[in-house]
Amino acid sequence: MMKALLRRNITCFFSDNSSSIGKSSTSFSLFAHYFSTAQESESLNTPTVFELLRHRHQLSPEVASHVSSVVTHLKNPTNVDSILLFFKEFGFTKTQLEKTLKSRPSLLVASLEKIIKPKIQIFQDFGFPAKDIASIISKEPGVLHTSTNKKLIPALSLLKGFLGSNEKVSKALRQSGWLLLTDLEKNLVPNVKFLENCGITREQISMLLNYLPRFLLYKPEIMRQCVDKVEEMGVSRRSRMFIYAVAIVGSMIKGRWELKLQSFRNILEFSEDDIVRVLRQNPQVFAVSEDKMKKVKEVLLATGKYKTSCIIKDPKSLNYSVEKRYKPRFEVLGILESRHLIEKWPRLGAIYRMPDDKFFEVFVGPYLNEVGDAYLGQKAFKDRKEARHI
């Protein structure tokens, strides 16, 4: 209606050949005022992006602010309402919806019918339940903008054929949704075939897809180099740890592997034989950072009860938290020793392997008055202490 009135005013203004210049100027001023007022009126009736997200759809101020800083103007607020209502009715939680929009604000101006719904429908056609679809998309919203025929359908088909079930595919995609944005035929397929030829079972490779998925997408020539490197270090292909050793080495390409080994030599005094032994038995240990090595070594030596050799003999000790496991347990043992309640400290392996319940039962429960406060910072032990007084 407003556009029709504007056209009529413009026509009248330019067709009035008998009007004087003064009258024309007056008419133009009136027209300009009307046009400006109409624009202001239309603007006042259109909610801002922030208002729409925050007040109409009750999203958090943080998300509404972030999205509105990217999508600054909405041509069609009704379309936005339709998109958000579709996600909600489909089963997206508020957290999932906010995560999706924060990652991909452009979805607000996407076509619901041409972009969003068709991608959702593909997941449904593959048999994925709504709950899993919402989890996958909120993990990697870029899936809704990827090519249907070139990426999404081939990737879902390949993953389902490889992993065997929608449940396993969902688990992998909830951790690594970006797999659907990748050309899996290019690297994943040849790498899987190569590893199977090396004697690695499909089940082991499937587990690796959850453990270190990016490794399986390395260039095939890099995969071969990693396998050769692990074999050179004396790890047999028949070992069940072989695939994990390959994955760990592969995660530290371009010289990082040698730097990692140097850290084990310099900080923890590992010999070459120690390195090979750990790579054969517990390759995951090599994922520990240099900073973590230093912290574990420092806290162990500070007790005066353990030496660096304890880590060499039991490298899994590097995997446990200094703040949540070692420090509070060492504090308890120190108190017990100072009050002559224990004669000697347990072996290092017994300390870090012992579940919280067991440690509480053996070293805390019988001596609550002496050592209970050492665990006030740990909820699990606070709960047990409170339970003892009920």
DSSP code for 108: G
Residue 338 shares a structural domain with residue 388: yes
Residue 367 shares a structural domain with residue 345: yes
CA distance 112 to 17: 50
Find the domain containing 369 and state its range: 320-390
Q: Does 157 fall in a domain?
A: yes
Residue 67 shares a structural domain with residue 101: yes
Reduced to 3 states (helix: H, G, I; strand: E, B; else coil), residue 182 is: coil
Reduced to 3 states (helix: H, G, I; strand: E, B; else coil), residue 255 is: coil
Short-list 115, 179, 124, CA closest to 152: 179
Residue 163 shares a structural domain with residue 102: no
Q: pTM surpassing 0.85?
A: no
CA distance 343 to 384: 26
Residue 39 shares a structural domain with residue 64: no
pLDDT digits over 323-341, tens only?
Answer: 999 999 999 999 999 999 9
Q: Does 294 fall in a domain?
A: no
CA distance 80 to 33: 31
Residue 66 shares a structural domain with residue 104: yes
The mean pLDDT value for 95-118 works out to: 94
Domain count, the chain: 4
Quote the tokens at residue 227. 């396998």
Residue 35 shares a structural domain with residue 51: no
Q: Does 81 fall in a domain?
A: yes
Residue 78 shares a structural domain with residue 132: no
Q: Residue type at 68?
A: S
What pLDDT band is residue 375 in, cutting at 50, 70 and 90?
A: low
Q: Residue type at 64?
A: A
Residue 332 shares a structural domain with residue 388: yes
Domain boundary among 84, 109, 134: 109
Q: Does 235 fall in a domain?
A: no
| Phi–psi pair at 218, nearest 5 degrees | -65, 160
Residue 39 shares a structural domain with residue 51: no
Residue 32 backbone class (left: φ over 0; alpha: ψ -120 to 50; beta: rest): alpha
pLDDT digits over 119-133, tens only?
Answer: 999 999 999 999 999
Domain boundary among 78, 109, 140: 109
Q: Does 205 fall in a domain?
A: no
pLDDT at 136 over 90: yes
Check residue 372 and give its pLDDT. 65
Quote the tokens at residue 238. 């028949």
Domain boundary among 164, 182, 200: 182
What pLDDT band is residue 376 in, cutting at 50, 70 and 90?
A: low
Choice between 118 and 12, residue whose per-residue pLDDT is larger: 118
Q: Does 62 fall in a domain?
A: yes
Check residue 374 and give its pLDDT. 61
Residue 54 shares a structural domain with residue 31: no
List CB contacts of 261: < 8 A, sequence separation 6 or more.
275
Q: Residue type at 191?
A: N
Check residue 75 and give its pLDDT. 80
Burial (CB < 10 A; 0-12, 13-18, 19+), residue 165, is: exposed
pLDDT digits over 272-281, tens only?
Answer: 999 999 999 9
Choice between 237 and 18, residue whose per-residue pLDDT is larger: 237
| Phi–psi pair at 343, nearest 5 degrees | -90, -35
Q: Does 73 fall in a domain?
A: yes
pLDDT digits over 11-59, tens only?
Answer: 444 444 444 444 444 444 444 444 444 344 344 456 788 998 998 899 9
What rounded mean pLDDT belongs to the chain? 85
Integer-rounded Cα radius of gyration of the chain: 32
pLDDT at 389 over 70: no
CA distance 228 to 361: 48
Residue 20 backbone class (left: φ over 0; alpha: ψ -120 to 50; beta: rest): beta
Q: Does 290 fall in a domain?
A: no
